[in-house]
Chain A
Amino acid sequence: MSAHMTEDQTLLQDAAERYLRDSYDFNQRRERIAGGAYSDPGQWQAFAEMGWLALPVPEEFGGLGMGTREMAILAELCGQFLVTEPLIDALAATHAIIGVSQQQESALPRVTEGELIPVAAIDEADVASRLSPSTTLTQTNAGWHLSGTKHWISAGASATHLAVLAQGAEGLAWVLVPAAADGVECDTFPTHDGRGGMNCRFDLVLEADHILLQGQPASDALEAYRALAMTLSSAETLGATQAALDTTVDYTKQRVQFGQPLASFQALQHRMSNMLIQTELTRSLIYAACNASDSGHDNAARFARAAKVKATTVGRKVSQEAIQLHGGIATTDEYIVGHFFKRITALESWVCSKGEALKEFMALSPS
């Protein structure tokens, strides 16, 4: 069953898939990560040249001005090819935060060129209250003082800039901070999905032009960022889920036990049918979430939460089943399917958990 796509969307998908298939080899990725490199700057440059980073950038700033559906196409492929560069992270931060900020004119072209790699820094030690941060932005005689600590910045080690959520005098504020600036102290650590996570302490004074948004626009951007990130993380989960299923189907057709392929056993066939059924249902919901977002539908926020809940549930189940149906081989680092499982698990808790998404879904009444 094909999902309806415009000509442009098909073009984007075909070109991106061809590129990643040719140039994002699983074994090279494994060696790179083993060597301590969380991302490949050459890849990021290629992403820029192919226009991927320009997708969410409005045309007046040199971008393509495209929507959630197009970003989700790339997100799905990131899941399928286990991309460790922070693509969905940067797309979400660019679209929802930088793209609506006072610095759009200066920052967006740099994003498009691949020179500025932004990721959002939201979480803090007290995860429960992370949407009202204890990191503060205070105006002083010398400028704007940013003070606090951000935790669990996914792929932060691959970013050049952090979009930091802080508490300002007029409510929330987003500040764009170069990760290498004086007064920013970061601890990086490898994460189980092959990326480099980061915790950062901020104690620095910034010029006003580092402030992206303050007050209500900052709160609005937080919601926009979270909804978009939920949808894109769902799409990346979907891509990894489909890939885990495809790998499992191929493997069970080849692996012979008791004199016949594993795929001939009904007990396994029905489990793979369930994997397919749930993956397709998830796909429909994610595409609907994208369309709701792009058409400004009243239920867009609700659809984003629904997609996150469904993708998380199904991604977990399907990737667990993929390991079980393979058997021992899937528990090794050299075999790909366990890496889908790990990326899906990492995405489960990115931006919000399934339970948090479900609670937010329930709090939003349908219209």
Chain B
Amino acid sequence: MFSLAEHRTKRTRTVNASNPIPTDYDTFRASIREFLKEALTPELIRAGERTTSVFSDFEAGRQWQSTLHAKGWGAPEWPIEHGGTGWDIQQRYIFLEECKLANAPNPVMMGIQMLGPMLMHFGTEAQKTQFLPGIISGDDVWCQGYSEPGSGSDLASLKTTANRDGEEYVVNGTKIWTSMAHHSNWIFCLVRTDKNVKPQAGISFLLIDMATPGITVAPFPSLDGEVEQCQVFFENVRVPVANLLGEENQGWTVAKYLLEFERGGQHFTIELKKQLGKLQRAMANPNSRAIDDPTYAYRVAETEIDVMALEQTELRIKGSLSAGDNPGALSSLVKVSGTELGQRCAELLIEAAGQSAMPWQSDVLAPDYTGDTAAPAECVTTMAEYINSRATTIYGGTAEIQRGIIAKHVLGL
């Protein structure tokens, strides 16, 4: 029983881990801010501002990655021996937050966020030496070859084959939703190496040079008219066996590790707080449909409260990560909430913009575009962001897949 006397004698009050950032980090934040002020050119900032999906203008993103790499900040989350910064979780969060607030463009991150950790975990020394430096410098651009036209949520049903022929695999098949494949010089692929076992057990993980004969890339525009997605075709593509990551038929294990990184490595509230700022500005803008609308203001306030709840949940997860726990299925919780809240913000923003969001002017998105815009400045990307927000609950494991994971692994259903 909890006794009064016992309690009085052993009272200790410790600072709670989920409290806001302690002052020690202020200096760190200031140094990041100072660097960003120096390093971000007007063109890079414009590319950041006019980002309508997870990808910024490709060249701007590449240039930014090169700048970060030169500073030694190319992959803050990586271990120091591979070029990481040695920052703690809080410092990495501050870095991401400041980059976002300063409108830095997003480099293509599939290599750094996904393949890098995999290579370090499953790769041979030769593979690490060959691939990690190009990833962190941004000289090599990697795309992800997982989904196929017949294999979306049911990824393990994939049919692209890799048949061993001497010291090479011969790859045939097709991949789709291969973001930025048209800008990439490497692709990491899941391929079928055994058809006679259960689907997950016959998959291998291959690293493929996009310049290999037999590869065709077919980009296609998304609903917003922009081209980020591609279908990639493989016709008798010969890949050295040395480019197998992990063991043959262990590709599913490799992929699962990656998917956890994809889900867990995201900080939704940084972006969401930026969206809240746009909502506040929309409510103060006399040209907005949201001006003097109490029903709109209530919805924004409820959204803000939901963002606060998500932020505190991300902090709780960060706290358990610091303690060495794996967030596991809880990254599904964050992914579902973060993406659905992003969609809600995007909806509120097109509502405020009204017809001002309608002009479709693709050239505006180029970072060197300085001409007139048909839409008011604050509405140039509003519709594209809304349209693209619908994809967020589909890629990286649909909201339905995430709910299934929670049902199975958290609730035990």
Q: Interface residues, chain A, CB within 8 Å of chain B?
A: 1-4, 6-8, 11-12, 15-16, 18-19, 49-52, 54, 59, 64, 69, 249, 252-253, 263-264, 266, 269-270, 272-274, 276-277, 280-282, 284-285, 287-288, 291, 294-295, 297, 303, 306, 309-310, 313, 358, 361-362
**Complex CA distance for A3 and B18, rounded to whole angstroms:** 9
Q: How far is the CB of A323 from chain B (nearest CB, A)?
A: 18
Q: Is the CB of A273 within 8 A of B18?
A: no
Residues of B within 8 A of A249 (CB): 411-413
* Those of B306-354 within 8 Å (CB) of chain A: 306, 308-310, 312-313, 315-317, 319-320, 325, 327, 330, 333, 336-337
Residues of B within 8 A of A276 (CB): 333, 406, 410-411
Given A249-B411, A284-B312, residue A4 in contact with residue B319 (CB < 8 A): yes
Known: A270-B400, A270-B404. A3 touches B310 (CB 8 A): no
Known contacts: A8-B12, A50-B3, A306-B308. The answer to whether A291 contacts B19 by CB under 8 A is: yes
Nearest residue (CB) in B for A314 is: B309
Contact of A309 among B18, B302, B313, B317 (CB under 8 A): B302
Are A287 and B4 in contact, CB atoms less than 8 angstroms apart? no
Taking CB atoms, residues of chain A closer than 8 Å to B312 are 284-285, 287-288
A54 — nearest CB in chain B belongs to which residue?
A: B4
Q: Are B4 and A51 in contact (CB under 8 A)?
A: yes
- A272 vs B407: C-alpha distance in the bound complex, in angstroms? 7
A-B contacts, 24 of them at CB < 8 A, read A1-B316, A1-B330, A2-B325, A3-B316, A6-B14, A6-B16, A8-B12, A15-B2, A18-B1, A19-B1, A49-B1, A49-B4, A50-B1, A52-B2, A249-B412, A270-B400, A273-B404, A281-B333, A281-B337, A282-B309, A284-B309, A285-B305, A287-B312, A309-B305
Q: How many A-B residue pairs have CB under 8 A?
A: 147
- B301 proximal to A (CB < 8 A): yes
Asked if A361 contacts B301 (CB within 8 A), the reply is yes
CB of B17 within 8 Å of the partner chain: yes
Q: Is B297 an interface residue (CB 8 A)?
A: yes
Contacts A291-B18, A362-B301 known; A1 to B327 CB distance under 8 Å? yes
Per the bound structure, the CA–CA distance linking A303 and B18 in Å amounts to 14
Q: Lowest 5 A-B CB distances belong to which pairs?
A: A15-B2, A284-B312, A269-B407, A51-B4, A273-B403
* Contact between A285 and B16, CB atoms less than 8 A apart: no
**Which of A19, A281, A362: most chain B Cβ within 10 A?**
A281
Interface centre among B8, B337, B407, B408 (most CB of A within 10 A): B407
Given A282-B309, A284-B313, A362-B297, does the pair A8, B20 have CB atoms closer than 8 Å? no
Given contacts A8-B10, A19-B1, contact A277 B18 (CB under 8 A): no
Instruction: List 13 extra interface pairs beyond A273-B403, A284-B309, A284-B315, CB under 8 A.
Output: A19-B1, A50-B3, A52-B2, A249-B412, A253-B413, A272-B413, A273-B411, A276-B411, A277-B337, A284-B316, A285-B305, A287-B316, A362-B298
A327 vs chain B, min Cβ distance (A): 17
Measured between beta carbons, the chain A residues less than 8 angstroms from B317 are 1
CB distance from A246 to the nearest CB of B (A): 9
Q: Is the beta-carbon distance between B309 and A285 smaller than 8 angstroms?
A: yes
In the assembled complex, which residues on chain B have CB atoms less than 8 Å from the CB atom of A274? 403
Query: Across the interface, which residues of B come within 8 angstroms of A263, CB to CB?
Result: 413
